[in-house]
Amino acid sequence: MPSSPSPLDGPAFDTAHPDALFPLAPPPVADPSGFAGLERLPLPELVAPDWAEALSGVEGELRQVLGFLTAEAANGHVVLPQPSNVLRAFRQPLADVRVLVVGQDPYPTPGHAVGLSFAVDGGTRPIPRSLANIYKELDADLGIPPRIHGDLGRWAEQGVLLLNRVLSVRAGAAGSHRNKGWEAITATAIEAVANRDSATGGPLPLVAILWGKDAASVRPLLGQAPAITSAHPSPLSASRGFFGSRPFSRANALLQAQGAAGVDWELPPLP
């Protein structure tokens, strides 16, 4: 999602969102039961086992945020993404993370958010404009043709952690769940990724891709891990340094320099 407001990136948190494809339709009636169910589950059933250990110190904050989502839904608000996807970024094992891509918050259009930064449901057409720009740069960088869908699950399966700083949003209101507690949880997650040790005691291979000023703000959490920074792929800022930044080939080169295999960035033609 677009980064925090700045002269370069433009306004971020309103319904005139740079990735809004059309005016939002009235949201469906909310169903609070799903978030209440999450709130009751033990941490190891919410996230992968090693993520449960890494996030144990902020479990209280996570319970508070899930309680907030339950209240939002109970008050008739549609919360995105759906309950089963709110913590999707933490389903893949922490130990497998090779690349960290930091986003802002989920797309506020109902049906789009899937719990992975920049990704949308495979059936969403057209894809958001930030993601379309990501595909353009992927083509320019590695010669991989753009896809018509926005399902980035193949990247996640290869250890690309697509993590928004804020993991939920009220439908039609970008940024509405900012400062509700998610930031402490995702900061802990980013530090956990950066501070992993291999069996020999050295750090596990990691490259961070930070698009926009909001993402760049997490750089101090990454320690010595290499980071690729540029403007955000939003149409408001992509021409100011995102295009031509070659993040995909650079990430693979940095992984290989750490003794790890690069990511196969090519996505299936259809989800």
For residue 20, the model assigns a pLDDT of 53
Distances in whole angstroms, Cα of residue 153 to Cα of each of 92, 117, 189 = 10, 11, 19
Kindly write down the DSSP assignment for every residue of 164-212, as one continuous string: ESS--EETTBTTTTTTSSHHHHHHHHHHHHHT-B-TTSSBPP-EEEEES
Per-residue pLDDT of the chain (271 residues; tens, 9 = 90+): 444 333 333 333 333 456 754 444 444 444 445 999 999 999 999 999 999 999 999 999 999 999 999 999 999 999 999 999 999 999 999 999 999 999 999 999 999 999 999 999 999 999 999 999 999 999 999 999 999 999 999 999 999 999 999 999 999 999 999 999 999 999 999 999 999 998 888 899 999 999 999 999 999 999 999 999 999 999 999 999 999 999 999 999 999 999 999 999 999 999 9
For residue 199, the model assigns a pLDDT of 86
For residue 66, the model assigns a pLDDT of 97
Q: Which CATH class is domain 33-257?
A: alpha beta
244 secondary structure, DSSP code: T
Number of helices (H), then strands (E), belonging to the chain: the values are 9, 6
Beta strands at 227-230 and 207-211: parallel, antiparallel or unpaired: parallel
Q: Is the dihedral of CA 82, 36, 180, 30 positive or negative?
A: positive
Please give the Cα distance from 168 to 63 (Å, whole number): 14
Give the predicted TM-score (pTM) of the model. Answer: 0.89
For residue 7, the model assigns a pLDDT of 30
Are 127 and 114 a contacting pair, CB within 8 Å?
A: no
Neighbours of 113 (CB within 10 A): 29
264 catalytic, yes or no? no
For residue 169, the model assigns a pLDDT of 98
From the candidates 9, 19, 105, 151, give the one annotated as an active-site residue: 105
CA 112 to chain centre: 13
